Structure 1
Amino acid sequence: MTQCPGATPYPISPAVQEAYGPTDLSSMSLFGGGFINFGYWQDIDLGRPLTEDDRISSQQAMYRHVLAALAPVEGPRVLEVGSGLGVGCAVALEEYGFAHVTGMDIHPQQLKRAEQTNADLLARRPEQLRFAHGAAESMPFAEGEFDCLYSVEAAQHFRDLDAFAQEAARVLRPGGRAVIASFFVPDADLAGPERLAELLDTYSTGLDVAHTIPQLTGSLERAGLTGVRATAIGASVWPGWDRWLARMWEPGTWPRNFLRAYREGTLDYFTVTAQRPMP
């Protein structure tokens, strides 16, 4: 685990500290497989009983969807912001041919878990994979250090989208591409945050922040990134996620309200792409 000298510390919110601390979301059977995301279920048959293999396949598919969106930019060095257990970094390294992958996370315990989870890969390819301690709003890297940057289901935890966007633009080389996938309020309707807090405990406790898509795309544009585009992929996320939740949660319980929020138009899942322009 590395930390660049001079990097500015950034506080972890209490809710994030608790969720990814000793109890650790990834230890729950809900997130079996080590990928902490809701899954991309497009190619999975939801009309039959779901298995653990289906769940893991959906999580891997989310990473593949995001990593494929990095094209057409090619380059050897890629950064994952909010890398968790680092299993997505392994997919990026082993399936997409990057010469070097850095996984960055704000939570020290997650970084220790990432190093343990990927011990074999780190031993086999020590010059190609590393894990670094840093926040999305204060990244411990040099300007232009990366060819590509991606983040999977972490942006809902970011406290300052403007700071994240500025840092993303800074650490990307000219021509470098960023892809962010997570769930957001689709528009700037001020009723959205209040409604999400009513429906979902993760918003009422402050673990998730009700960022809107206009806030994120605006932050990226103000940071100087171009070609900013948000694509809704909720139809490939929410029905499958709800079918998986149905194994453990009854209708009317708060985790099942993700699908309800989507159907109400209060919440959706997006892939957002942007690029640092050439000089």
Structure 2
Amino acid sequence: MIREPQPIQRPIPPAVQKAYGAADLGANPIFAGGFINFGHWQAIDLDSGLSHEDRVRSQQDMYRHVLDALPSTGQLRALEVGPGTGVGTALALEEYGFAHVTGMDIHPRQVERAREANSRVLADRPEHLGFVQGAAEDMPFGDEEFDCLYSVEAAQHFSDLTAFGQETARVLRPGGHAVIASFFTTDDTPGHAEHLAAHLDCYANGLDLAHPVTHVTEALNRAGLAQTRAVSIGPDVWQGWDRWVAHVSGPDAWPRNFLRAYEEGVLDYYVITATRPAAARAH
């Protein structure tokens, strides 16, 4: 039975409402270019003096690294969960040949920003791109609507990983693929959440949640997805992010504690891949 699209049911967490509300987080120099991710810095010389162009490229390269993890993209229908201002969604459409990309964000102001940033494409090629409001745990789509699902640095906000896993499995067609990239605790050792909250404001105020990476993969597995794998890309993220934070915010900026948490073995950045089996139904 195909589920008809429904209006968003889940409330927006207060910290998410505040962070992505009146102020455009994508306009903050710490992010640059409208993207909102820590960046994939493998191709950038960190010792040469970082530029605005380097920072933008690091964030573009994060999208490319995630999308390269999909076995195929051409002429497929894709869902991006948490697209922010939509500049990464546009990159996916232009560089990877999707038939259509839908960006879904829980925050209505982010949906507005994404539509504004991509107004020309939406006007000229509405059959290829769209942005809708929806929660990762309660997606406003029919069953088996997408060939692939990807998410770049949004899953640290998801309050219910079990529901996210179930929704991911439901909206993917049999044989469809999911790729989720974000930062998670390395294991479920007690005290990780408190440690992060003591050193990082985004954990202290509840914007980011200290999900163990195993809880993410287990949620996908419980939902019926298979071939689930989590791979650390921390070496290509944390040093570059820390150098950029120091460059734009100074040596004592609190986001520099992300590198500290990584070096202490508490936190890391992962790319998680999973597949909906071709012969199985979503749970």
**1:127 corresponds to which letter in structure 2?**
E
Q: CA RMSD in A?
A: 1.2
CA deviation vs aligned residue, 1:64-102 (integer Å, no higher than 9, x gap): 000110114765200000011111111111100000000
Q: How does 1:41-60 map to 2 (within 5 A)?
A: 41-60=41-60
Hey, what's the Cα distance between the residues in 2 that align with 1:197 and 1:86? 29
**Which residue in the other structure is 1:278 paired with?**
278
**Which residue in the other structure is 2:265 paired with?**
265
**Which residue in the other structure is 1:79 paired with?**
79
**Which residue in the other structure is 2:70 paired with?**
70
Q: Please say if 1:221 is aligned against 2:221.
A: yes
Q: Which runs of 4+ in 1 moved over 2 A?
A: 4-8, 72-75, 248-253
DSSP-derived class of the 1:247 partner: helix
Q: How does 1:142-161 map to 2 (within 5 A)?
A: 142-161=142-161
DSSP-derived class of the 2:247 partner: coil
Q: 1:249 to 1:8 in 2, by over 3 A?
A: closer
Q: Contact 1:136 / 1:158 at 8 angstroms: preserved in 2? A: yes
**Which residue in the other structure is 1:243 paired with?**
243
How far is 1:31 from its partner? 1.3
Hey, what's the Cα distance between the residues in 2 that align with 1:11 and 1:66? 28
DSSP-derived class of the 1:126 partner: coil
**Which residue in the other structure is 2:37 paired with?**
37
Q: Contact 2:73 / 2:98 at 8 angstroms: preserved in 1? A: no
**Which residue in the other structure is 2:207 paired with?**
207
**Which residue in the other structure is 2:133 paired with?**
133
Q: Contact 2:73 / 2:97 at 8 angstroms: preserved in 1? A: no
**Which residue in the other structure is 1:61 paired with?**
61
**2:162 corresponds to which letter in structure 1?**
D
Hey, what's the Cα distance between the residues in 2 that align with 1:211 and 1:239? 22
TM-score, normalised by the number of residues in structure 2 = 0.95
| Structure 1 residues without counterparts, runs of 5 or longer | none
Hey, what's the Cα distance between the residues in 1 that align with 2:235 and 2:12? 32
Q: Contact 1:73 / 1:175 at 8 angstroms: preserved in 2? A: no
Hey, what's the Cα distance between the residues in 1 that align with 2:270 and 2:116? 31
Q: Contact 1:169 / 1:225 at 8 angstroms: preserved in 2? A: yes
Hey, what's the Cα distance between the residues in 2 that align with 1:92 and 1:189? 36
Q: How does 1:87-236 map to 2 (within 5 A)?
A: 87-236=87-236
- Pairs aligned (count): 276
**Which residue in the other structure is 2:27 paired with?**
27
How far is 1:122 from its partner? 1.3
Hey, what's the Cα distance between the residues in 1 that align with 2:155 and 2:274? 15
TM-score, normalised by the number of residues in structure 1 = 0.96
Q: Contact 1:75 / 1:147 at 8 angstroms: preserved in 2? A: no
DSSP-derived class of the 1:71 partner: coil
| Structure 2 residues without counterparts, runs of 5 or longer | none
**1:259 corresponds to which letter in structure 2?**
L
Q: Contact 1:104 / 1:131 at 8 angstroms: preserved in 2? A: yes
How far is 1:24 from its partner? 2.4
DSSP-derived class of the 1:194 partner: helix
**1:46 corresponds to which letter in structure 2?**
L
